[in-house]
Structure 1
Amino acid sequence: MIDPDEVDAKGIPLTARAVFIIGLDKRLKLSILYPATTGRNFDEILRVIDSLKVSSEKKVATPVNWKLGQECMVLPSLSDEDANALFDDQIRKVDLPSKKPYMRFTDING
């Protein structure tokens, strides 16, 4: 890919680096376009792959800066009853000022 906004001393566009992650269902799960002036963060790319794998296997989402082995968030669309059955009553609820019960965490590692 060429980045028309980033050029070398001769005015020739520099290449941009694209990252595409395709799921097992052959659908695009993530795309990142790094301009020539920005380095790629492979730790973040690997973190995203871990997150996509976990969230495709379990009814969870991963919070910011999550890493494999840490707690995941139970999907808000899952009822408390279904969540407790799915995660063996191992759910930690977070009290919020709004009193809404949607921030629930679980350890999927056992």
Structure 2
Amino acid sequence: MALRLGDLAPDFEQDSETLTVRSLFIIDPKKRVRLITTYPASTGRNFHEILRVIDSLQLTDNHSVATPGNWQDGDDVVIIPSLKDEAVIREKFPKGYKAVRPYLRLTPQPNK
């Protein structure tokens, strides 16, 4: 990716002594970078976390929600704070919600 974006010198050569990190890019169908994470080369990637992020991105793109830290598929989600109209909220979230704070409203994950 760095070579494609022109972030490295044209004469860059990679060998085992210079490889210090691995970067992971998640790019959506509109070609927007949605996640960049960098690991030391000696550390394996957490594929469960990568899949969790993809699930979260797809869910939040299709519903007016955000996912809390450590969210797993099927857990409650957060109704985005900008959604304030109670009639719209009742329509979008027929299972209701629990207001932990005025700005923090938890609801069952849509489509589950």
Q: TM-score, normalised by structure 2?
A: 0.76
Which runs of 5 or more residues in structure 2 are unaligned?
3-7, 9-14
Letter in 2 for 1:102: Y
What is the alpha-carbon distance in structure 1 between the residues aligned to residue 84 and residue 61 of structure 2? Answer: 18
RMSD (Å) for aligned C-alpha atoms: 2.2
Match of 1:79 in 2: 84
| Residue 104 of structure 1 pairs with residue 105 of structure 2 | yes
| Residue 47 of structure 1 pairs with residue 49 of structure 2 | no
- Report how far residue 24 of structure 1 moved: 2.1
Per-residue CA deviations over 1:8-36 (Å, capped at 9, x if unaligned) read: 7xxx2125221111112210100111111
Q: TM-score, normalised by structure 1?
A: 0.78
User: Runs of 4 or more off by more than 4 Å in structure 1?
Assistant: none
What is the alpha-carbon distance in structure 2 between the residues aligned to residue 53 and residue 24 of structure 1? Answer: 11
Match of 2:97 in 1: 91
Identity %: 46
Match of 1:65 in 2: 70
- Judging by fraction of residues, say which structure has more strand: 1
Which among 37, 42, 46 is matched to residue 42 of structure 2? 37
Which runs of 5 or more residues in structure 1 are unaligned?
none
- Report how far residue 75 of structure 1 moved: 0.2
